[in-house]
Amino acid sequence: MGITHLSPDLVRQLVWEEEAPGRQRHLSPDAVAEVFRFGAMVGSEIHRFAELDRGMDYAKQLVRDSEARDCALASGTVILAETLTGGRGRFRRVWHAPPGGIWMTLVLANTLLPETSRLYPLAAGLACCEAIRHFGINCQLKWVNDVHVQGRKIAGILAETMIGPRFGEEYVLIGIGINANNEAFPPELADTAVAMCSLLGEPVDLEALAARLLAKLNWAMGLLHYEERQWLADDDGSRPAAARESMLVAQWRGLSDTIGRRVWFGYDVQQNPQYEALVIGLTADGGLILQHLADDVQCVEYSGEILYC
């Protein structure tokens, strides 16, 4: 089951027939429509490959090639590969990406304010978790970029930025990998990874999963833009950014099991854990509020990673 018929039209149909009605439990129909209009650029162009070395590298080349033609790459461009031969995650860790999974790179022109753009990884994680849950799997989010089922990783998100070499425009590149039908893992991942098909007892329709993921990304990325516009319209200077109420952060928090956990924190926590802490909460711009177990001092971390104790 490959991804041969996925198209922007298919994603739009899914958005308006299935996704938009469900979102009206939380926002008015007009507001929901506006969110999805903001997010409609996601999947506006879709590039498919049987094999790529690394989706991020191809995305960067697309940006360079577009600017060489005096054009900007279409924001929302999606790159899909059936397999990645040189996939890497954080800290250059190997990203196991054989046939059977969803290996996607999303390219976005970053037009958001810095405090909003910090939420890109959380938005992508929210969409990914919601897409997998649609198929009946009770997965959860681990700050900042993992989706797991009872401690075993089923999906991961990697976010990078680049500046266009000619026009100086900033792009956000978001890599998403979902273990769908690839249930054979190398020995080093056998105990820590899991595939959707293993949990469901049957193969996953990859095209349906990819379409659902793009529809969820339409919502999550659109919500970033919608909420920023609402904050700017309502801001009279009396309320600090940290006090804003974010629907996106609230939705992420509702699907996460990170808050309240005892964790190790570090910038490469597998190799160099820095300190042990209790997760107190999440700031409005996605920072993790941690209380050091050694001295009870609280801090906010925006980068790095955690391991559950």
User: Does the pLDDT at position 232 exceed 70?
Assistant: yes
pLDDT: which is higher, 5 or 23: 23
Provide the b/e sequence for 167-180 (b: ≥16 CB within 10 Å): eebebbbbbbbbbb
> What's the whole-number average pLDDT of the chain?
92
Cα of 88 vs its chain's centroid, Å: 16
| Rounded distance between C-alpha atoms, residue 129 and residue 127, angstroms | 6
- pLDDT recorded at residue 95: 72
- pLDDT score, position 93: 60
Give 36-73 pLDDT, tens digit per residue: 999 999 999 999 999 999 999 999 999 999 999 999 89
The pLDDT of 218-231, averaged and rounded, is 96
308, 141 contact by CB (below 8 A): no
- Over the stretch 82-98, which tens digit does the pLDDT of each residue have? 999 975 655 556 678 99
Instruction: Report helix angle 206-234 to 247-254, nearest 10.
Output: 140
pLDDT band at 240 (very low <50, low <70, confident <90, very high): low
Query: How buried is residue 296: exposed, middle or buried, by Cβ count under 10 Å (0-12/13-18/19+)?
Result: exposed
Q: What is the pLDDT of residues 163-219, one digit of tens each?
A: 999 989 999 999 999 999 999 998 888 899 999 999 999 999 999 999 999 999 999
Confidence class of residue 3 from pLDDT cuts 50, 70 and 90?
confident
Residue 277 burial class via C-beta count within 10 angstroms: exposed 0-12, middle 13-18, buried 19 and up: buried
Domains present along the chain, CATH in parentheses: 8-234 (3.30.930.10), 258-308 (2.30.30.100)
Q: What is the mean pLDDT of residues 104-122?
A: 95
Strands 288-292 and 298-301 come out as antiparallel
Residue with structure tokens 């089922």?
A: 149
pLDDT higher than 90, residue 268: no
- 149 has a pLDDT exceeding 80: yes
Residue-level pLDDT at 87: 58
pLDDT score at 201 = 97
pLDDT at 197: 98
